[in-house]
Amino acid sequence: MIGGDMGWSYRKSIKLGPFRINLSKAGVGHSVGGRGARYTRTADGRRHMTLRIPGTGLSWRRSLGGRRR
């Protein structure tokens, strides 16, 4: 069989200034922030904060609690 467990996926990101709407097969998520810091809420309810040092490739990401509905 060619491709094994490969399947279709969908992902689209719409930027609105510092806000970003993320569309995927799992649903709609959103994030807010800039190059140095970003708060994200995924389509399945997970939340995390990402801090970056622009130009270095270094970043730190922390999950913020469990899923919230």
Does the pTM exceed 0.85? no
Q: How many residues in total does the chain contain?
A: 69
Tokens encoding 19:
């806000």
State the residue for tokens 């995390």: 48
Residue-level pLDDT at 4: 60
Q: How far is CA 62 from CA 2, 26, 37, 44, 50, in A?
A: 38, 21, 11, 17, 7
The predicted-structure confidence for 13-66, as pLDDT tens digits, reads as follows: 999 999 999 999 889 999 999 889 999 999 999 999 999 998 899 999 999 986
